[in-house]
Amino acid sequence: MNQNKIEIENLKCGGCVSTITESLGAISGISNIEVDEITDTVSFTGAQELRVMVAEELKNLGYPERGTVSGIDQVYRLAQSYVSCMRGKFK
């Protein structure tokens, strides 16, 4: 098992952290999920092959890996992150 770290964009608050933690917790094979609001990173323990799946899930939530989106996709992911954030705040 590897310790993986992904730097993400659009992380704003505890609502974001809650949504990310819940969503990634549903992925089989990963554990020790930590979301750091100060460094905008998501860390987890799991096989290296799962990193791609986790990065894709983060992107789908609106928190893409830093530097992987631009233009209209970047605007779309930012809007998605606000929805994910609000979902996390109300749970």
On the question of pLDDT at 91 being above 80, the answer is no
Domains and CATH numbers, the chain: 2-89 (3.30.70.100)
Q: How far apart are CA 81 and CA 91, in angstroms?
A: 16
Task: Provide, for the chain, the percentages of residues in helix, strand and coil under a 3-state DSSP scheme, each rounded to the nearest 5.
Answer: 45, 20, 30
Output the pLDDT for position 89: 87
Which residues on adjacent β-strands are paired with residue 24?
A: none
Q: What is the pLDDT of residues 68-85, one digit of tens each?
A: 999 999 999 999 999 998
Q: What is the pLDDT of residues 13-65, one digit of tens each?
A: 999 999 999 999 999 999 999 999 999 999 999 998 999 999 999 999 999 99
Query: Residue 90: which pLDDT band, with cuts at 50, 70 and 90?
Result: confident
